[in-house]
């Protein structure tokens, strides 16, 4: 079997992402601590995010709105203006943080590009994802860029069709079982799971059991060897 298309996630696969969300969440917990314990506030935020994902989608803007809603639910009525201003400032900082690549990513992408075309498949706010890709300096490494509202098996089937490859000739690599791995496997592709610390609670899922097209890697740097082994 030859892999003819390599699909890659962006956030927490090519560059750090969740550590910025987690630090912003901690800032919110500090701000609302006069009104609720950190555990209660964290649970409230997670529940709020889960409710809002279908409305706001994924990304820093929706997260900021969920932080504001959580503060309204926890704080005294009305919400203090200075508290609202500080939450908005935290959200703006989240949107403007520098892009920090994982070690060796540029070299690994060069190795992967010699094995097949690369397509970036990422979800979230269009403007923010475009800005991060531009800041990363990696945009010219990809033959295709897919910024989607969510990743499903149909998303991957569409990409494979557009790229002119069969599903079994494609591989998806990323850090999320829910968004990167399971949908790609359902679509009939290969999938390489590269877990990262601090994973988002809403991205957790069961690890595929004994799936012949599933592999867990320690880092993206191991992906070229996996593709060679599949070949």
Question: 84-94 pLDDT, tens per residue?
Answer: 999 999 999 99
Which DSSP state fits 219?
Answer: S
Residue 179: count of CB within 10 angstroms of its CB: 26
What's the chain's average pLDDT? Answer: 94
Amino acid 202: pLDDT: 67
Tokens 């943080």 — which residue? 97
Higher pLDDT, 2 or 161: 161
Burial (CB count <10 Å: 0-12, 13-18, 19+), residue 16: middle
Residue 101: count of CB within 10 angstroms of its CB: 15
Distances (CA, A) of 154 to 8, 87, 161, 173: 16, 36, 10, 17
The first and second tokens of residue 36, run together, are 């609720």
Q: What is the rounded distance in angstroms from the CA atom of residue 117 to the CA atom of residue 71? A: 45
pTM: 0.91
For the chain, domains (ranges, CATH) are 5-16+100-230 (3.40.50.1000), 18-95 (1.10.150.240)
Residue 207: count of CB within 10 angstroms of its CB: 12
């Amino acid at each position: 079997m030859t892999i003819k298309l390599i699909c890659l996630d962006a956030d927490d696969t090519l560059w750090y992402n969740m550590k910025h969300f987690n630090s912003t969440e901690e800032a919110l917990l500090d701000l609302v601590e006069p009104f609720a314990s950190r555990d209660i506030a964290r649970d409230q935020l997670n529940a709020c995010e889960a409710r809002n994902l279908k409305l706001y989608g994924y990304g820093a803007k929706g997260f900021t709105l969920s932080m504001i809603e959580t503060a309204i639910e926890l704080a005294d009525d009305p919400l203090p203006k200075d508290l609202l201003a500080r939450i908005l400032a935290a959200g703006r900082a989240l949107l403007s943080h520098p892009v920090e690549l994982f070690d060796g990513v540029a070299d690994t992408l060069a190795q992967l590009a010699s094995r097949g075309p690369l397509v970036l498949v990422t979800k979230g706010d269009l403007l923010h994802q475009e800005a991060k890709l531009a800041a990363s300096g990696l945009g010219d490494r990809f033959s295709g860029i897919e910024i989607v509202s969510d990743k499903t098996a149909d998303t991957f089937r569409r990409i494979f069709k557009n790229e002119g490859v069969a599903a079994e000739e494609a591989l998806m690599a990323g850090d999320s079982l829910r968004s990167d791995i399971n949908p790609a496997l359902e679509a009939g592709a290969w999938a390489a799971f590269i877990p990262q610390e601090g994973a988002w609670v809403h991205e957790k899922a069961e690890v595929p059991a004994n799936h012949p097209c599933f592999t867990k890697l320690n880092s993206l740097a191991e992906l070229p060897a996996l593709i060679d082994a599949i070949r």
